[in-house]
Chain A
Amino acid sequence: MRFYEALGLEPKLALDSEELKKHFYERSRQWHPDRYSRSSAAEQQKSLEMTSVLNDAFRTLRDPVARAEYFLEQKAIVPSKHVPPELLEEVFEMNIALEELRAGDETARPQLVEARKRFNRMRDEIDHGISVLFLRYDEAEDASHLLAIRSVLDRRQYVANLIRDVEKELNVHVSN
């Protein structure tokens, strides 16, 4: 996996952020274009390639969700486009409330504010619990654990979209 290689790290899902930062700084010192301003064009080009990958790698791996997405993508495990079944009812109700608000019915607002709070809590819980799943996979390197992570990430993505939709609608009407 290119991003892990760029940082000189073992491909693990659970990473220590201080360790990650240390590797990033070390390799930046080694490869940054500032260190090659008096080198040949070929060396400068190489430094540019190395640092752009390094920066990309650090940006991706330091965020647990982006890291897991990258990891799964590398393992060819693709996201699902289906609505998580346990959220179906909730989403249905929220859409009705959104329609009402769009039509100018302000009584729908408290319900949406409440929904937003609930979705935010859901996302926080997912973020909190995901590190356990990372450790579980790193220990056993069992592909079924990756599938479990995939479905958690799908759920998270779905919740994140809901939050975005609710926020957009709530903000539009506040500013009017």
Chain B
Amino acid sequence: MLAFWLRGYRLYFRMVGASIRAQMQYRYAFFMNILGWAMSYAGTAVTMWVMLSSFKALAGWTFWELIFLFALAVLSWGVCVLFFSHFRSMDQYIVNGTFDRFLIRPLHPFFHFMAMKFDVGAFGQLLFSIAAVVIAYIQLGLDWSLWKWGVFLGAVAGGVFIQSGIVVLISAIAFWTTRSERFYWVVMFPAKSMMNYPLTLYPRILQWLFIFIMPFAFVNYLPALLLLDKKHPVYSPYWGSVSLLVGILFFWICYRIWMLGLSRYKSTGS
């Protein structure tokens, strides 16, 4: 069993290493990709600043609190993109028939597909978000206990699982419809943008959706309530401490649906 995992681990790094070298072949694009993402997120932060300079606070959140909320989401999204970004275009593999390659090798297809790419462009997201979290931490004069650092790490890891879960879930649609990338732009992208702001800005039904169905609230809003000592009349701040648990459960469900899709693919081949 241990040997099995060790081999998988080794193989993952070999394949991912190859993917990074492949991306390095286009050196200019490699650096511009990283820089591009960092700049694009910095741009969103500036928009927030412009907005807040005339309103002072948004739903009770100050500028640096908002930056923290935003950066927390970008941080886990960045890690998710590193490992899962290519699931977004899995439908293209299915349409042009190259997906079959993942079924003729002695590897688990999910593992094999996952190991095909490691998107270094995500270093841009990580660069921006780590810097933003650090600055916000200082500006807000935070001084976390060990417990809160644990909550923070749990939120990042949980956020990775939740967002990766959605990306995997959306890619699985391709097993049924052969097309899935548009769902990403219709579902994932707007939802992600909404999570840059406090959940309480949105109607109750959307809040519930983001807590119970598509658990984006566990990526940043709920942990941020806890980490920034903010109060909410309904949602207990301690909900923010279970992000990792929610994330693992959610990811597992999405993974099962992906596997279900794969078995459908094997019986239809389209």
Q: Do A and B come from one complex?
A: no
